Amino acid sequence: MRTLFDRTRIGTMRLKNRIFMSPMGTTGEADGAYCNEGIDYFEERAKGGAGLLITGANVVSTRYEPRPCTELSDFHHVERLNMLIDRCHHWGAKVCVQLSPGLGRQQFTDPFTPPYSAGSVSSFWFPDLICKPFAVDDIHYLVERVGYSSSLAVNAGADAVMLHAYGGYLLDQFHSPQWNNRTDEYGGSLENRMRFTLECIEAMRSNIPAGMPLIVKFTPHQRVEGFRTLDEGVEMARILERAGVDALLVDAGCYEEWFQAITTVYSAPGHKLDVQRAIREVVSVPLMGDGKLIEPDLARKVVEEGTLDYVGLAHQLLADPYWPRKVQQGRYEDIRPCIGCNECLLAGFSGKHYYCAVNPQCYAEKAYALPKPDGTKRSVLVIGGGPGGMEAAITARQRGFDVELLEKSERLGGTLWPAGGPDFKRDIIRLIESMETQCRKLGVTITLGKEATPETLAEVKADKIILATGSVPAVPPIPGIENAIPVTKYLTHQAEVGRNVVVIGGGLAGTEAACAIAPDADSVTIVEMLPDILATAAHCLNNDQHLRKMVADRGVTVVTGATVSDIAPDSLSYEKDGETVTIPADTVLNAVGFTAFDELEEACLAVCDDVAVIGDAVGPRKILDAIHEGYHAIRIME
């Protein structure tokens, strides 16, 4: 029987298991070469046990667009890439270098210059910019550069090369009639639309040794109405197999519904498997795939049943690089789960390096490494058992410190419980379970049901106090607000709702609550003061798209630019455009936001010189802020 940990081979590349790191963009030096942090980041994932690591897209030329991530277009880029590959090889991992002729209409760094694309279509990120179609000579130039970059990958010691031909990026723009309106040999029929890709494959094959795997990542189904359907995707797979590729990495989606391609917290496990199974039926080359396959039993199943030959993990390996080792050892409870927040993507598209909300050491493996325990005794008191408090407690025990954690409620988790309340946010509950498991395994002294007060703190003796008391729901000055239920009570299953529900506030909590209620209600209405819902969410585009689609699909009514004026026991009134509107409501949820709870800071400072206020106790923010602040508050202790 096939297993996740079989030793296999693709071409001349021998692999120690069937787990690969899916390609994800990484930042680099100003000249496009890999930076030291990027090299450390890849080495950590090699250490974690993945058999194959696939780099993000290395662009082959910057003649037509700015470099988005890393570049492999010059002999001098080889040195850093070789360092990366060598260090991964030390841990038994192989490295596949992904090459890209460009982003085309997906170019996101220059809002002033119309990008090049297959046709004269609008730019995705800057719709007012109309793309310039590539001339045939430009296409030939890029094909040559793809070939040359393949030779540079060989020089760097790559084990395989991959062509970046998916997800609505440049080659996929040529594949797609909605973006390719050409009338020359690169437009029209599917064969013509794939000509650029097939010429790239030929150029790559001419510049790599015989037997070296050449893999193509492509998108058989874009999952957007009017875009590519699976029937055409199946024919694309056949064409690619005939072109002699050694394996296919099967994707789905595009930026118009980006959440179909890059998993969000709202995604179902294995959400690309239907597409991958359809391709499995028509080609015989090895198939690679990802799409929220992070649950070990699901990953094992898709390999055992033959749907995929290789299972890809992307953001899960940011959250926990050691997923492969832990799964092989049966240590499922030690896996820190990815929560689908996509803070990693948001950081990258904002010009920063890549962050992981639940792993503060991601992309800073050496800079943020914990000092090793040296036998020095330290005591830490953590007040509050939410994500920041638990992270501080875990980190302090990892440093060998004595830790006491006080939590006033009867369970750890804090505001993660309402955040994970909807049934479509199970990933957040998994994070609570994971962090609590580590607190207990590491020996944190946990006291539940005990609230810290100035009086109880008066006798405390600790080297450091972490104040992680979180936030409380804000109460707006609306007549009749006593008739409303805090959204947290609904999300933590402490309150039931009726058939006609109004949610005051269209932020993240209010919008998710509305979506959770809608399937079982007669009507659900969000009333928001701002011009749009989710205006304060500050989350990544794919998460935003996914949640908005859920709002639409579940029939939630949205009223924006409106101010609630009165809440009665059976109705709610709001003012919009100078008019007062009253709607029936047997339940009103208050989701206007949260306020920091930091009332113990002075009492802490009275008994300890080293006090760190973290997470929502500073101000209502994100899981990332709480976890990172908890980690660093302990990391920097001397």
Q: Is 116 a catalytic residue?
A: no
- 486 is written with which tokens? 């805090």
167-191 in b/e form (b: 16+ CB < 10 A) is bbbbbbbbbbbbbbebeeebbeeee
Cβ count within 10 A of residue 76: 11
| Active-site annotation holder among 148, 166, 169, 186 | 169
Rounded-to-integer distance, Cα 79 and Cα 11, Å:
25
Q: How many residues does the chain have?
A: 638
**Phi first, then psi: what are they for 554, rounded to 5°?**
-95, 5
CA distances from 406 to 276, 401, 418, 535 (A): 48, 16, 20, 35
**Helix or strand holding residue 146 (H, E):** helix 136-155
- The single-letter code of the amino acid at 79 is E
Which class for 602: exposed (0-12), middle (13-18), buried (19 or more C-beta within 10 A)? exposed
Please state, in angstroms and rounded to a whole number, the distance separating the CA atoms of residues 317 and 47.
11
CA distance 355 to 364: 9
Residues 6+ apart with CB under 8 A from 473: 486, 487, 488, 590, 592, 593, 594, 595
Helix/strand/coil (H/E/C) assignment for every residue in 172-189:
HHHHCCCCCCCCCCCCCC
β-strand partners of 379: 402
Q: Are 470 and 414 in contact (CB under 8 A)?
A: yes
* Residue 275 three-state SS: helix
Residue pair 452/465 in contact by the 8 Å Cβ criterion: no
Enter the tokens of residue 425.
């946010």
Supply the DSSP symbol for 130: B
The two three-digit tokens of residue 39, written as one number: 């090299």
E strand map for 357-468: 379-383, 402-407, 445-448, 464-467
Instruction: Compute the distance between CA of residue 254 and CA of residue 271 in angstroms, rounded to an integer.
Output: 14
Amino acid symbol at 107: Q
Round to whole Å and give the CA distance between 353 and 374: 31
**DSSP labels for 570-589?**
TEEEEEETTEEEEEE-SEEE
Catalytic residues: 169
